[in-house]
Amino acid sequence: MEWYDELLLLTASPVVRLNRAVAVGEAHGPRAGLAALVEVSPDLPRYAAVTAYLHERAGDLERAAALYAEASRAATSVPERDHLTRKAAQVRQMLR
């Protein structure tokens, strides 16, 4: 995670902030990752996918499924769209 902090000092890139939120979620738990997303614009590509992933890990499956579906509609490629659509379906299946 320290590498992301260093990158932020050098670039202040929104993509680095997004990736840092994932790293925080992996290191300190999904709730911490979601808290780190406060510093990221929701307009950033893949924001919904990252948020869905963190909500899934936190056990908020309804929110995760909705966000995976949202992310699939915003996907920039067919493989990405298909992957996110499958993730939404998998999470919905877990709700049953």
For 15-36, the pLDDT digits (tens) are 999 999 999 999 999 999 999 9
Mean pLDDT of the chain: 95
Q: What is the dihedral of CA 54, 71, 83, 75, to 10 degrees?
A: -140
Mean pLDDT of 64-80: 97
Is residue 1's pLDDT more than 90? no
Domains of the chain (ranges; CATH) run 2-95 (1.25.40)
pLDDT of residue 12: 86
pLDDT at 5: 87
